[in-house]
Structure 1
Amino acid sequence: MGTATKVPQTRSMSGEELSADHAWTTLRRYGRWHLIRDSFARFRYGDGMTNSRALAFQICLSIIPGAIALVGLSSVLNQEQLGQVLELTLSRIAPGAGVEAVKDVLADSHRQAGHTGGTLALWLGLATALFSLTSAMAQVERGANRIYGVERDRPFHRKYGKALLMAVTAGAFMTVGFVVMVGGGAIGRALAKVYGWNDGMMDAFTLVRWPVGFLLALLSASVLFRAAPRRRQPGHTWLAFGALVSLVLWTVFTLLLALYTERSGTFGATYGPLTAVMALLLWSFLSSMALFLGLAFAAQLEACRGGSAGPVEPDPGPTAEEEREPLVGAVGAAVGAAVRELARLWRRRREGRDRASEAGSRRGGAAAAARGHAGERAG
């Protein structure tokens, strides 16, 4: 349960949906850095990190079996050229030592496509990927609701029905846009090798892939931002501000991760054949964070326009002083007991020394008296 404040549903004075003009006016009035700070607070207290981890897990469960199934089923459906493009692209995207592992898995996928049981397994793998992608879209709804301060998701049938629709529309197009931007070079080389493209076609693909991938990702994110939360959302152009923030963060995170995996010799050496899987896990987590951070930006922008007091509810927990009291009390009691024990031992030792001194004095007096009596008898 998050503690982000509930974002009021707002409209323009004429009752129309909020648009990019309203968003720009609100952004200038509220201040960029102030908005960035409050957006991060909304992301944090809206369980953004928790939902990012869950979404990353679902993304991995959809990408890995989906890619394997598509490569294998391309042979069954007599689409060998498409399968070759996918196989070459995945092999070239995989970092370091993970290339051989990817090739082995894809080769096994081709072998399974040669018999009936293997074909059924590939279809089941594709169904598993679709189920995981649907679960990922449901996780987006859950995370979006918490960021907007909505504590209850849609009923089960509505939630997962809408998640399935988002998975085959916005989710699929967003994935295509991301893949085109990240692996566009590998895709272009694979297409050129399989279909025999010349240099002119390669140059055209290189020129087109960036704007096409960017627009696909931006539009898909805007649609996702509008459909996911359980509330009435502003217009697509308003939400495009948050989608743009997500896309910029995703690009930065992806470039930094690619730079790290390529330049760092320890990454591949540490994970060996699992390098590709670990890179996918990290990329999925960073991508999920970027998505929810952009959503938090759009939510906080609307909250500012609606006059919300702040991004976070007052802290319901104990104060710092109250948290320290039990610790201080326990430590104080332990220290007091130790001091009392040391004092008791010191008193016992001192009393022992006093008794020993007194006993020595008595023995000395008795010895002196005995010597005196002995002298008197001798005299």
Structure 2
Amino acid sequence: MFGRRKGSDAADVTEDRPAVDEPGSTAPIRSVGIDLDERRPEREPAEQPARPADDTAVTALDGPGRDAEPTGPAEPDAARPVVEPTPDAEATQAVAVTRDLTPEERERRARSGRAVDDRPDPRRPSAWRAARSAVREFGRDQCTDLAAALTYYAVLSIFPAALALLSILGLVSDPERYVDKIADVARPLVSQDTLEQIRNALENLTRSDVAGVGLVVGVVVALFSASAYVGAFGRAMNRILEVEEGRPVWKLRPAQILVTLVTVLLVAVALVILVVSGPVARSVGDVLGLEGTAVTVWNIAKWPVLALIVIALVGILYRSTPNARQKFRWLSPGAFVAIVVWLLASAAFAFYVANVSSYDRTFGSVAGAVVALLWLWLTNLALLFGAELDSELERHRQLQGGLLAEVSLQLPVRDDRTIRKRASKQEQVVAAHREVRESFLGGGQMEDRPYR
């Protein structure tokens, strides 16, 4: 137990030595008069482990002066640190070093037989892990129900948005040419009689001479009605990003109307590209002497422009509708996945409707409306899944940065005034309920009261 002094075979019972559990203490040990050599069993010399070839490792294991005689009182065995050699020390060190190697260096190390760590770097977000988390959260947040609610609000917003769109288009060109396009969009959603009423209303609007304040008021009212979809999408985004809505109504509604206005303007640009761009390109080609070449070039070039408009629409919905402050990116990974999934789902659904389904026999005259509603539902599903993917990628980044994002994302909110008011009202409700319970108990326990 204790180190012996050189030249002595037994412990000096009158010697004051430091206690084992208190190194450096000056308290004496109580004299017991027992020969330590008689109590200590004979131990076989331990087999020395094989030393590494590295001189640095040998020095680290042996320490300075391993074979030298001690010059002072030896330390107790329990207080002396024991360094056990690690058989795989070199391999462990190689694994730690090879995380940051280039693919060429990793392949060269693997060919030479040296250790290479093939595990994914935990510091980098795993796209596959985030995708699995997004699928799980997609079901947990009940995104299928959210998509159905968004489809409902989309149907309510289509016709006010069409009126606002037609009013805006009337400022730059003849709006009558757009009536047929808007009617084609609305045809699957309504019956023939309703479609004729919508067409007549749009034609009357195009022939009216409303201007100035009347036009502005009409556009604002239409945008206010069309902003219902933007508000519903913002509530869905708040659930996905795990934040509460804290903006007051006087701040929230104008923001939703502004987002709706930007959305309608982008859709107007898309319609202008589809309807007006052909004749304009033909006229420009005739002036430049290119004839049909300009039309051919524009028919190819307009699709990237339309793709940019779609990217802008998705980015604005993801960034501007929730109460969370996020870094704005025109094309986030989730937005890219949402657009790709939407295109694939639309193509697959169109093929299914044209070749497999029997909607005409099942739903009769409303089959077109059912197909349009299902397509809107698939569109909203794609948008929500892209938002879930962005949310889970952000969660993995926060976890790797040391933030407590296991339960909820750590995102700053735009405004928390409504959140604080709701919390204060909830505390008042809880206090009122507590008073009812305490008055019912009358100072006793619940089991002492008769059941009523």
- TM-score (structure 2 length as normaliser): 0.50
Question: How far apart, in 1, do the equivalents of 2:314 and 2:250 lie?
Answer: 23
Question: Closer, same or farther in 2 for the Cα pair 1:88/1:206, shift >3 Å?
Answer: farther
- Answer whether contact 2:165 2:268 (CA < 8 A) is retained: no
Deviations 1:165-224 (A, max 9, x none): 21112x3366468x66xx98xx35x76479976744442332122211211222332233
Question: Closer, same or farther in 2 for the Cα pair 1:110/1:166, shift >3 Å?
Answer: closer
Q: 1:244 deviation in Å?
A: 1.0
- Residue number in structure 1 paired with 2:381: 289
Question: How far apart, in 2, do the equivalents of 1:99 and 1:203 lie?
Answer: 37
The DSSP-based 3-state class of the residue aligned with 1:29 is coil
Q: 1:99 deviation in Å?
A: 9.8
- Residue number in structure 1 paired with 2:157: 62
| AA aligned opposite 1:148 | L
Q: Which of residues 22, 29, 32 in structure 1 aligns to 2:124?
A: 29
- Tell which deviates more after alignment, 47-56 or 209-218: 47-56
- Answer whether contact 2:244 2:323 (CA < 8 A) is retained: no
- Tell which deviates more after alignment, 90-99 or 129-138: 90-99
- Tell which deviates more after alignment, 61-70 or 141-150: 61-70
Q: Does residue 304 of structure 2 align to residue 304 of structure 1?
A: no
Deviations 1:338-368 (A, max 9, x none): xxxxxxxxxxxxxxxxxxxxxxxxxxxxxxx
Q: Which of residues 130, 134, 147 in structure 2 aligns to 1:39?
A: 134
Question: How far apart, in 2, do the equivalents of 1:305 and 1:288 lie?
Answer: 26
Identity of aligned residues (%): 22
Q: 1:303 deviation in Å?
A: 0.3
Q: 1:298 deviation in Å?
A: 0.7
Q: Does residue 204 of structure 2 align to residue 109 of structure 1?
A: no
Alignment of 1:329-368 (within 5 A): none
- Answer whether contact 1:175 1:217 (CA < 8 A) is retained: no
Deviations 1:260-316 (A, max 9, x none): 333357334544543443333222222211111111111110100111665789xxx
Question: Closer, same or farther in 2 for the Cα pair 1:268/1:196, shift >3 Å?
Answer: farther
| AA aligned opposite 2:369 | V
Question: How far apart, in 2, do the equivalents of 1:254 and 1:27 lie?
Answer: 36
Question: Closer, same or farther in 2 for the Cα pair 1:234/1:201, shift >3 Å?
Answer: same
Question: Closer, same or farther in 2 for the Cα pair 1:289/1:195, shift >3 Å?
Answer: same
- Residue number in structure 1 paired with 2:358: 266
Question: Closer, same or farther in 2 for the Cα pair 1:132/1:273, shift >3 Å?
Answer: farther
Q: Does residue 349 of structure 2 align to residue 257 of structure 1?
A: yes
Question: Closer, same or farther in 2 for the Cα pair 1:192/1:214, shift >3 Å?
Answer: closer
- Residue number in structure 1 paired with 2:444: none
- Residue number in structure 2 paired with 1:319: none
Q: Does residue 334 of structure 2 align to residue 242 of structure 1?
A: yes
Question: How far apart, in 1, do the equivalents of 2:186 and 2:363 lie?
Answer: 13
Question: Closer, same or farther in 2 for the Cα pair 1:295/1:74, shift >3 Å?
Answer: closer
Question: How far apart, in 2, do the equivalents of 1:114 and 1:210 lie?
Answer: 29
Question: How far apart, in 1, do the equivalents of 2:132 and 2:122 lie?
Answer: 13
- Residue number in structure 1 paired with 2:93: none
Question: How far apart, in 2, do the equivalents of 1:153 and 1:301 lie?
Answer: 24
- Tell which deviates more after alignment, 265-274 or 246-255: 265-274
- Answer whether contact 1:45 1:312 (CA < 8 A) is retained: no
- Answer whether contact 1:150 1:230 (CA < 8 A) is retained: yes
Question: How far apart, in 2, do the equivalents of 1:214 and 1:302 lie?
Answer: 25
Question: Closer, same or farther in 2 for the Cα pair 1:126/1:258, shift >3 Å?
Answer: farther
Alignment of 1:34-183 (within 5 A): 34-67=129-162, 79-80=173-174, 82-84=175-177, 86-90=178-182, 104-109=196-201, 112-113=204-205, 129-169=222-262, 171-172=263-264, 175=267
Question: How far apart, in 2, do the equivalents of 1:203 and 1:27 lie?
Answer: 50
Question: How far apart, in 2, do the equivalents of 1:96 and 1:159 lie?
Answer: 33
RMSD: 4.4
Q: 1:113 deviation in Å?
A: 4.0
- Residue number in structure 2 paired with 1:339: none
Question: How far apart, in 2, do the equivalents of 1:31 and 1:101 lie?
Answer: 54
- Residue number in structure 2 paired with 1:210: 303
Question: How far apart, in 2, do the equivalents of 1:311 and 1:249 lie?
Answer: 28
Question: Closer, same or farther in 2 for the Cα pair 1:53/1:114, shift >3 Å?
Answer: closer
- Residue number in structure 2 paired with 1:323: none
Which sections of structure 2, spanning at least 5 residues, go unmatched?
1-119, 284-290, 410-452
| AA aligned opposite 2:315 | S
- Answer whether contact 2:335 2:387 (CA < 8 A) is retained: yes
| AA aligned opposite 2:340 | V
Q: Which of residues 312, 315, 323 in structure 2 aligns to 1:222?
A: 315
| AA aligned opposite 2:329 | H
Question: How far apart, in 1, do the equivalents of 2:189 and 2:254 lie?
Answer: 40
Question: Closer, same or farther in 2 for the Cα pair 1:72/1:208, shift >3 Å?
Answer: same
Question: Closer, same or farther in 2 for the Cα pair 1:38/1:162, shift >3 Å?
Answer: same
- Answer whether contact 2:360 2:367 (CA < 8 A) is retained: yes
- Tell which deviates more after alignment, 283-292 or 224-233: 224-233
- Answer whether contact 1:41 1:312 (CA < 8 A) is retained: no
Which sections of structure 1, spanning at least 5 residues, go unmatched?
1-24, 314-379
- Answer whether contact 1:38 1:311 (CA < 8 A) is retained: no
Deviations 1:236-267 (A, max 9, x none): 26x62221112112212222233233335733
Deviations 1:51-99 (A, max 9, x none): 2222222222222343367559978x7954x421x23434666788989
Higher gyration radius (CA): 2
- TM-score (structure 1 length as normaliser): 0.58
